[in-house]
Chain A
Amino acid sequence: MNFGIAAAQLLAEGGSIFDRLGITWESIVLHLFNLIVLTVGLYFLLFRPVKKMIKQRQEKVKKIEKENEDLSEEVRRMKNSSEKVLSEAKKEAAAIHESAVKVANQKADEIVSEARERAKTLIGQTQREMEEERGKLRKDIERQIADVSVAVAERVIEKKLTPEDNKALIEKCLEEWSKE
């Protein structure tokens, strides 16, 4: 509003507006020169370094993104590989477990069979030993019975043998020996 009033006053006073504002062509050239210098200075001192820095940043970001992608790919590959390895390990573990169970069952069967065989042998051996022991005992008892019987017979015959019996016994013996 004030500017409009001032401009109107200047027009009313007459003369060129540039004259009235104190603007000369030298000042315009000077200002243009200043503007060019400032622009060139800003271009070299600020715009180029900033542009370079932004470019570097962009390259860095791209590089990081690339590395990130590579890493993601590596992780994916490793994950796939680990899953495959895990799957194979599970299969292998199952096979080993199955084999171990089979071997253990086979071994258990062998042990049981061997134990049965051993028990059978032991029972047979024990029965034989018992039979032998029983036979020995029987013989021993028979011997003891014979000993006792002979001892009793000796006592009885000693007591009851008369001189006549003794004489008859001696004569019978002599007769038997003479026939030999």
Chain B
Amino acid sequence: MRKAAVKAKVILSMEADKETKEKIEAFVRARGCGGAEYEIDPSIGGGVVISIGDRVYDGSVKGRLESVKRSV
């Protein structure tokens, strides 16, 4: 019996179009996920944050600026 794949958690700053969502779905499926659950959070400023298990892909404006701030 095949184990059900975990869904990735995807945070966006605003609603994305169908094409973008398909690319996100393809990305998470390539990493073994069964799909994606979307959440809108304007505080991330833009971009996307994808959580797959313990791994977090942070492509948000807020995350990148935080990274820049840390490097300063």
Chain A interfacial positions (CB closer than 8 Å to B): 142-143, 146-147, 149-150, 153-154, 157-158, 161, 163, 165-167, 169-174, 176-178
Contact = CB atoms under 8 A, between A and B. Distances in A.
A170 B48 contact: yes
A167 B16 contact: yes
B27 A158 contact: no
Query: Could you tell me the dominant secondary structure of chain A's interface residues?
Result: helix
A154 B62 contact: yes
Contact of B65 (A154, A167, A173, A178): A154
B30 A178 contact: yes
Contacts of B46: 157-158, 161, 165-166, 169
Contact of A170 (B16, B65, B66): B16
Contacts of A165: 46
Nearest to A158: B45
Among A154, A165, A173, A178, find the residue whose CB has the most chain B CB atoms closer than 10 A.
A173
Contacts of A176: 59
A150 B66 contact: yes
B69 A173 contact: no
A65 B47 CA distance: 135
A141 to B, nearest CB: 11
21 contacts: A146-B68, A146-B72, A147-B69, A150-B65, A150-B66, A153-B65, A154-B45, A154-B61, A154-B65, A158-B42, A161-B45, A163-B14, A163-B17, A166-B14, A167-B16, A169-B59, A170-B23, A170-B24, A170-B48, A170-B59, A178-B30
B49 to A, nearest CB: 9
Contacts of A149: 69
B61 A171 contact: no
Contacts of A166: 12-14, 16, 46-47
